[in-house]
């Protein structure tokens, strides 16, 4: 790590070249990718595998045009760190929720009922998941090239085995399976790069990378030794199945015209299908606004929509990032980097019956504090509504409802209340991973004993 | 009995504290630093202005009630409070508000307090915490946010009842269908007194 490679922000110099590109790099658009979960049967093999992966694992500035490159990210679960033979003292220095793993946190996270870890796709939630590898690229050719190294490293390393994989790809029109443009909002980070919302001041680097001061003025709790923790971060990885037919049926049966149906979906999401935010275009979709990266995320709520008459406080995008809206608590302590990638075929347009296909997204949520970022957002903002004054209401899109969910849609003269919301998203699996720095990967690959 | 220990932990994955409905009690006992009892007493007196306390509670939005009590001849201190959800989910948020300053002002006089902005402050509070043997509330389903909303709605409702135009509307046959609905009958039932 040379001095010259550091980038400077107010009062902080981030060692960007030591941070895996996958941590801060925006998703390309279009994209193809592949997620792998691996089991390490022998710690020496695991270390050798990491060593062989190192040349293919890049660090560096996320401001490079994301549509140009392809990159591979290597992450480890707590069980994976154990399988590599990381010293006990060091294992003990990881935060408790990471040690427990996502499945053990299910009740707190609202992963119950059909999202209960007992129903998860194997090997999610089992002690077999040790390593995660993610490869993302703008096209299949560059993805294959990026994966060549991994393939070779695996062939040379018996004792490390792929136990699950998932192909992801952008759906036509750059939309999610529900039909909405995603990947729009990214926070700005001091010393790293600006975000997509010019009204939000960049967040302290320590919100996203270990080893730097965070929004509380402290250094995030960091696993030891320093070479292992510094410039690392955490990923919450989730496989989320989307019930697209149920979503379309709900919209159809709760509206009386295609226009109303479109508005209802937008009120639940907070954006129109094009990505245009309701706050800026409350009455109709605006394709040009949705496609304009300089405008489609340039807004707050407080000045013009604190009551939520345009974008309901309970809408998905307003819950998971309330921006400057009046809420219980401090938004800046609960920001996160979201990287959603779609899997499975789209449900053809107009189809209202479930075709039985598995489709949805692999969601990756990145931050230096699993507890007050991912876990807080999921438990307080997605699975409850007290923070916006609607106790007991959940995120109408991402919340786990049991068919009796409600959502208040503010309106004049009288609010509308959606009733009998079912779940449109089911958790099929998830893992907490540590995303080590390049120095930490080297340190892990050189462990002795 | 092990169940006494396990019940709160199974419903509260993070920290101890007994729950009733949406609320959790949070009670902390600390030792006051030698020679600082008078200073704490003065700080509590200065903080006892209802206006400031209310402002702080408005900022939090999840705190039902709180009290600071000095006891054992000024050697010990109790902080007893009732929160919506679990107190520790929002502790980092509190530190950023006027509440953080109030906590700092009190607990700086107690032994071992690391400071409200210290990353280990949650663990410190948890270590001083005693879980209640009994905790019951008269309105277990209502969060602070809902209590405030209910109060605003009732005040507005009472003002509507005071308007002669509302009385006239009740007598207007054009509104008969509305008046006959069970929902409106419930409202009228509350309007009777």
Asked if residue A108 and residue A256 are part of one domain, the reply reads no
* Residues of chain A contacting residue B90, judged by C-beta atoms under 8 Å apart: 328-329
Rounded to whole angstroms, how far apart are CA atoms A104 and A98? 10
Q: What is the mean pLDDT of each run of 10 residues along chain A (449 residues)?
A: 41 89 86 96 96 88 60 95 98 97 97 97 98 94 88 91 96 93 94 94 97 94 96 98 98 97 98 98 98 97 96 98 96 96 96 97 97 96 96 96 96 97 98 98 96
Rounded to whole angstroms, how far apart are CA atoms B84 and B86? 6
Rounded to whole angstroms, how far apart are CA atoms B102 and B70? 16
Find the radius of gyration of the CA atoms of chain B. Answer: 22
Distance from CA of A52 to the nearest CA of B (A): 37
Q: Which residues pair with A405 in a beta bridge?
A: A421
A221 in contact with B, Cβ within 8 Å: yes
Rounded to whole angstroms, how far apart are CA atoms A406 and A420? 6
Asked if residue A257 and residue A205 are part of one domain, the reply reads no
The residue of chain B with its CA nearest to that of A371 is B89
Q: What is the pLDDT of residue B9?
A: 34
Asked if residue A251 and residue A107 are part of one domain, the reply reads no
Rounded to whole angstroms, how far apart are CA atoms A330 and A422? 30
Mean pLDDT, rounded, for B4-25: 64
Asked if residue A150 and residue A50 are part of one domain, the reply reads yes
pLDDT at B127 over 90: yes
B88 in contact with A, Cβ within 8 Å: no
Asked if residue A58 and residue A119 are part of one domain, the reply reads yes
Rounded to whole angstroms, how far apart are CA atoms A355 and A344? 12
Asked if residue A213 and residue A150 are part of one domain, the reply reads yes
Asked if residue A217 and residue A341 are part of one domain, the reply reads no
Which residues are CB-neighbours of B24 under 8 A, at least 6 positions away? B12, B17, B18, B82, B83, B84, B85, B86, B87
pLDDT (tens digit, 9 = 90+) per residue, B18-60? 999 999 999 999 999 999 999 999 999 999 887 888 888 888 8
Pair B95, B44: CB distance under 8 Å = no
Q: Which residue has the higher pLDDT, A1 or B125?
A: B125
Rounded to whole angstroms, how far apart are CA atoms B137 and A249? 41
The parent domain of residue A84 ranges over: 3-232+438-445
Which residues are CB-neighbours of A240 under 8 A, at least 6 positions away? A360, A361, A362, A363, A398, A425, A426, A427, A428
Q: What is the pLDDT of residue A27?
A: 85
Q: What is the pLDDT of residue A439?
A: 97
Q: What is the pLDDT of residue A188?
A: 96
* Residues of chain A contacting residue B14, judged by C-beta atoms under 8 Å apart: 108
Q: What is the pLDDT of residue A1?
A: 35
Asked if residue A274 and residue A188 are part of one domain, the reply reads no
Rounded to whole angstroms, how far apart are CA atoms B19 and B79? 17
Confidence of residue B6 (pLDDT cuts 50, 70, 90): very low
Is A314 in a helix, a strand, or coil?
A: coil
Confidence of residue B97 (pLDDT cuts 50, 70, 90): confident
* B85/A328 Cβ within 8 A: no
* A376/B89 Cβ within 8 A: yes
Which of A220, A331, A389 should we substitute to test contact with B (largest number of B Cβ atoms within 10 Å)?
Answer: A389
Asked if residue A266 and residue A219 are part of one domain, the reply reads no
Q: What is the pLDDT of residue A65?
A: 58
Asked if residue A247 and residue A228 are part of one domain, the reply reads no
How many structural domains does chain A have?
Answer: 2
* A333/B117 Cβ within 8 A: no
How many other CB atoms are there within 10 angstroms of residue B124's CB atom?
A: 19
Asked if residue A269 and residue A139 are part of one domain, the reply reads no
Give the one of B13, B92, B149 whose C-beta lies nearest to A108's C-beta: B13
| Domain positions in chain B | 3-128, 144-191
Q: What is the pLDDT of residue A258?
A: 96
Give the C-alpha distances (Å, rounded to integers) separating B124 from A52, B27, B79, B115: 43, 13, 14, 10
CATH topology of domain B3-128: Alpha-Beta Plaits (3.30.70)
Q: What is the mean pLDDT of chain B?
A: 89
* Residues of chain A contacting residue B183, judged by C-beta atoms under 8 Å apart: none
Asked if residue A396 and residue A279 are part of one domain, the reply reads yes
Q: Which residues pair with B80 in a beta bridge?
A: B27, B67
Q: What is the pLDDT of residue B150?
A: 96
Q: What is the pLDDT of residue A256?
A: 97
Mean pLDDT, rounded, for B103-107: 95
Distance from CA of A389 to the nearest CA of B (A): 5
Distance from CA of B22 to the nearest CA of A (A): 9
């Amino acid at each position: 790590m040379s001095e010259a490679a550091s980038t400077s922000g107010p009062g902080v110099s981030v060692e960007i070249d030591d941070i895996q590109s996958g941590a801060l790099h925006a998703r390309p658009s279009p994209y193809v990718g592949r997620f792998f979960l691996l089991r390490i049967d022998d710690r020496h093999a695991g270390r050798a595998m990491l060593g062989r992966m190192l040349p293919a694992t890049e660090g560096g500035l996320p401001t490079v045009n994301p549509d140009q490159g392809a990159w591979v990210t290597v992450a480890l679960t707590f069980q994976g760190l154990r399988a590599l033979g990381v010293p006990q003292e060091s294992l003990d220095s990881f935060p408790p929720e990471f040690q427990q793993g996502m499945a053990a946190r299910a009740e707190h996270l609202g992963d119950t009922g059909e999202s209960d870890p007992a129903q998860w796709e194997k090997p999610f939630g089992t002690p077999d998941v040790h390593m995660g590898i993610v490869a993302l690229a703008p096209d299949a050719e560059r993805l294959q090239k990026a994966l060549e190294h991994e393939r070779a490293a695996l062939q040379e390393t018996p004792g490390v085995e792929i136990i699950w994989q998932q192909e992801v790809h952008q759906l036509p029109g750059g939309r999610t399976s529900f039909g909405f443009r995603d990947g729009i909002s990214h926070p700005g980070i001091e010393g790293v790069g600006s975000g997509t919302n010019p009204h939000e001041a960049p967040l302290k680097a320590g919100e996203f990378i270990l080893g730097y001061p965070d929004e509380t003025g402290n250094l995030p709790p960091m696993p030891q030794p320093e070479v292992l923790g510094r410039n690392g971060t955490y990923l919450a990885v989730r496989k989320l199945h989307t019930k697209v037919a149920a979503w379309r049926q709900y919209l159809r049966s709760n509206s009386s015209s295609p226009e109303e149906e479109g508005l209802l979906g937008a009120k639940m999401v907070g954006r129109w299908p094009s990505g245009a935010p309701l706050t800026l275009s409350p009455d109709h979709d605006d394709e040009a606004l949705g496609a304009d990266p300089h405008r489609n995320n340039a807004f707050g709520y407080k000045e013009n929509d604190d009551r939520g008459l345009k974008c309901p406080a309970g809408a998905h995008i307003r819950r998971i990032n309330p921006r400057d809206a009046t809420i219980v608590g401090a938004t800046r302590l609960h920001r996160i980097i979201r990287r959603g990638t779609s899997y499975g075929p789209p449900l053809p347009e107009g189809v209202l019956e479930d075709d039985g296909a598995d489709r949805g997204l692999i969601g990756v949520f990145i931050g230096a504090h699993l507890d007050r970022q991912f876990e807080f957002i999921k438990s307080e903002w997605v699975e409850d509504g007290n923070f916006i004054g609607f106790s007991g209401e959940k995120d109408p899109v991402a919340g786990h409802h049991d068919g009796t969910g409600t959502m208040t849609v503010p309106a004049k003269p009288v609010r509308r209340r959606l009733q009998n919301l079912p779940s449109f998203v089911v958790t099929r699996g998830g893992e907490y991973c540590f995303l080590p720095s390049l120095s930490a990967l080297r340190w892990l690959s050189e462990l002795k004993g | 009995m092990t169940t006494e220990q396990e019940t709160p932990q199974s419903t509260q994955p993070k920290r101890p504290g007994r729950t009733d409905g949406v609320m959790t009690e949070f009670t902390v006992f600390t030792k006051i630093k030698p020679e600082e009892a008078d200073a704490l007493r003065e700080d509590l007196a200065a903080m006892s202005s209802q206006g400031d306390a209310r402002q702080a509670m408005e900022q939090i939005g999840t705190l039902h009630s709180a009290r600071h009590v000095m006891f054992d001849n000024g050697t010990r201190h109790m902080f007893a409070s009732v929160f919506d959800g679990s107190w520790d989910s929002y502790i980092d948020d509190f530190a950023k508000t006027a509440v953080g300053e109030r906590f700092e002002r009190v607990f700086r006089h107690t032994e071992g307090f690391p400071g409200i902005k210290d990353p280990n402050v949650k663990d410190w509070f948890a270590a001083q915490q005693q879980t209640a043997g009994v905790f019951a509330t008269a309105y277990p389903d209502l969060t602070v946010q809902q209590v405030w909303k209910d109060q605003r709605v009732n005040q507005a409702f009472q003002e509507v009842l005071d308007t002669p135009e509302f009385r006239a509307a009740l007598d207007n046959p054009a509104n008969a269908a509305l008046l006959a609905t069970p929902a409106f009958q419930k409202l009228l039932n509350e309007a009777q007194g």
